Amino acid sequence: MAITYEEALKRLEANGQGHLLRFWNSLSDVQRKVLLAQIEGLDFESLARMKAMIASGVAAKSLDDIEPAEVVPLSSAKEPKAVLAGEESIKKGAVGVILVAGGQGSRLGYEGPKGCYNIGPVSNASLFEIHSRKILGLEQKYQAKIPFYIMTSLANDQATRDFFSQNNYFGLSKDRVLFFVQGMWPAVDKDGKVILDAKDHLFMSPDGHGGILAALRERGMLDDMKNRKIETLFYFQVDNPLIEIAEPAFIGLHRLNNADISVKVCAKRDPDEGLGVVVIQNGRNSVVEYSELTKEQKHARLPDGELKFKYGSVAIHVFSLNFLVRESGAQLPLHVAHKKVPCCADDGNQVKPDKPNAYKFEKFIFDVIPDAATPLNVEFAREEEFSPVKNAEGSDSPITTRRDMTRKFCRWFESIGISVPRNNDGEPLHKIEIDPCFALGADDLRRKVAKDFKINADIFLK
Ligand code: UTP
């Protein structure tokens, strides 16, 4: 049964949040129900941590005791032994895929779940379609079953499910596509008080991709994974269509090293690129956010001229299920941002502030890394696997992502001896796209196209 007014008041007053019921007398029955349901879901333990964090000052602490972490170099990342081990795991049905798609995509400014955004340079396929077809391509290539776990948030869950259902799950078997929602957290003011954005409503936003640990457990996904005899999970983000999903060599390296978590890393473009870097701190591997590094640390060079903190994580991971189970109750650190959040004034009307008025908190998945007994960092070539759609224009935008997709497919053609017409700047003259079920890589392409194949127009091979 839902919580009563009296019970809500008691809980709120005990936690210094009694103001949330200040409009109670002017609310309709329906409004009261909605508000009580939100109050019932409040996580007072986390709220107390948020308040304590604000009180102790939210500025990032300086990290003077970090050293670069060890990284398996690109030259060793694709060893045949690793490829075989990865392929074996996939074939025996021990590999699952996790996609985090609960974010708000505010920088892109697209209405609806970011995964519905059309990105295929020729096909116009959505991000969700491209990811799903890669999993289907793997299933077909290895005669395997690969469950696809998709984390959404309350803000985009229904729209995401509808999109998959309307598109017939892009050919995947419906019983292997599992959606689960992450938690939502309120925003708080400088005194740790939860913000109402209407008389009957708390402002809430997703609790960060680190929310996946609790969500996997609470929504029964860990049990589902165990039931399906999954051992290894490939984890990625929704906005990167270059992703090599469950790439056998990466899965295999993880398995051969008995790793808890494996992290794909690439060389930063420049010292000021906003990627978190992989480091050793207090003898443990971890990822340190860009904003936590000093200017000196960002620019530090080794004697050979290379950046000292060179390798950035782009949130491509492999987890062992045992590690996810072990970590599913972990209390991850909080990350805070000072933001503008609409709030309800004393007269009951909503006000849109013109400067930051609220603290929003998130958990980040990479904060589990220090808990791993056997972490592994593996280098990858950025141009092959990473070109995210983050912004509406400029860098990491749809234009650069589509360009990078075409460039990648052109490299596949050239590596099998088929020439690609290019302009004076070396850019391909035509847009090229290859459906993942047609080929997952250059080797598949070699088997599928004739040696005298000509590229003289935009092409989409499927
Ligand atoms: P980003 O940090 O790029 O955030 O998320 P975002 O919400 O997509 O975009 P902005 O910052 O508002 O512009 C990286 C990945 O983590 C997922 C996103 O869906 C994306 O795949 N994510 C982020 C979640 O699943 N939940 C969250 O609470 C936050």
Domain regions of the chain by residue span = 68-392, 397-462
Question: Looking at ligand 1, which atom is closest to the CA of residue 237?
Answer: 21
pTM, two decimals, is 0.96
Question: Looking at ligand 1, which atom is closest to the CA of residue 207?
Answer: 28
Lowest-confidence segment of 290-294, 422-426, 431-435 by average pLDDT: 290-294
Query: Ligand 1 centroid vs 88 CA: distance in angstroms?
Result: 32
To test the pocket of ligand 1, the residue of 131, 181, 236, 238 to mutate (highest count of ligand atoms within 8 Å of its CB) is 238
Q: How confident is the model at residue 452 (pLDDT cuts 50, 70, 90)?
A: very high
Question: Looking at ligand 1, which atom is closest to the CA of residue 107?
Answer: 13
Q: Whose CA is nearest to atom 18 of ligand 1?
A: 103
Query: Ligand 1 centroid vs 182 CA: distance in angstroms?
Result: 12
Is pLDDT above 90 for 1?
no
> Looking at residue 326, what is its pLDDT?
97
- Determine the Cα–Cα distance for residues 144 and 91; give it in Å rounded to an integer: 5
Query: Ligand 1 centroid vs 390 CA: distance in angstroms?
Result: 9
For residue 369, the Cα-to-chain-centroid distance in whole angstroms is 15
Length of the chain (residues): 462
- Determine the Cα–Cα distance for residues 340 and 226; give it in Å rounded to an integer: 42
> Looking at residue 64, what is its pLDDT?
73
Query: Ligand 1 centroid vs 237 CA: distance in angstroms?
Result: 8
For range 426-430, the mean pLDDT: 97
Q: How confident is the model at residue 248 (pLDDT cuts 50, 70, 90)?
A: very high
Is pLDDT above 80 for 220?
yes
> Looking at residue 57, what is its pLDDT?
80
Is pLDDT above 70 for 255?
yes
For range 126-138, the mean pLDDT: 98
Name residues contacting ligand 1 (CB within 6 A).
100-107, 114, 151, 182, 206-209, 211, 237-239, 390
Per-residue CA distances from 67 to 241, 266, 283, 288, 300 (Å): 32, 17, 9, 11, 11
Residue with tokens 């939100």: 38
Is pLDDT above 70 for 59?
no
- Chain segment 292-306, per-residue pLDDT in tens: 899 999 999 999 999
Is pLDDT above 90 for 58?
no
Crossing angle of the two packed helices 5-14 and 29-40, in degrees rounded to 10: 40
CATH class for the domain made up of 68-392: alpha beta
Q: What is the mean pLDDT of the chain?
A: 96
Query: Ligand 1 centroid vs 417 CA: distance in angstroms?
Result: 39
- Chain segment 62-94, per-residue pLDDT in tens: 677 899 999 999 999 999 999 999 999 999 999
Residue with tokens 């990822």: 287
Query: Ligand 1 centroid vs 206 CA: distance in angstroms?
Result: 9
In order, the DSSP letters of 210-272 are: GGHHHHHHHTTHHHHHHHTT--EEEEEETT-TT--TT-HHHHHHHHHTT-SEEEEEEE-SSTT
To test the pocket of ligand 1, the residue of 100, 149, 207, 393 to mutate (highest count of ligand atoms within 8 Å of its CB) is 100
Residue with tokens 């776990």: 149
Query: Ligand 1 centroid vs 212 CA: distance in angstroms?
Result: 12
- Chain segment 316-363, per-residue pLDDT in tens: 999 999 999 999 999 999 999 999 999 999 999 999 999 999 999 999
- Continuous segment of H or E residues that includes residue 289: none
Query: Ligand 1 centroid vs 210 CA: distance in angstroms?
Result: 10
Q: Is 188 helix (H, G, I), strand (E, B) or coil?
A: strand
Residues with Cβ within 8 Å of residue 247, at least 6 apart in sequence:
86
- Chain segment 350-396, per-residue pLDDT in tens: 999 999 999 999 999 999 999 999 999 999 999 999 999 999 999 99
Q: How confident is the model at residue 2 (pLDDT cuts 50, 70, 90)?
A: confident
Asked if 172 and 147 count as a contact pair (C-beta separation under 8 A), the reply is no
Q: Whose CA is nearest to atom 17 of ligand 1?
A: 103
To test the pocket of ligand 1, the residue of 149, 239, 317 to mutate (highest count of ligand atoms within 8 Å of its CB) is 239
- Determine the Cα–Cα distance for residues 182 and 152; give it in Å rounded to an integer: 6
- Determine the Cα–Cα distance for residues 396 and 114; give it in Å rounded to an integer: 14
Is pLDDT above 90 for 60?
no
Is pLDDT above 90 for 436?
yes
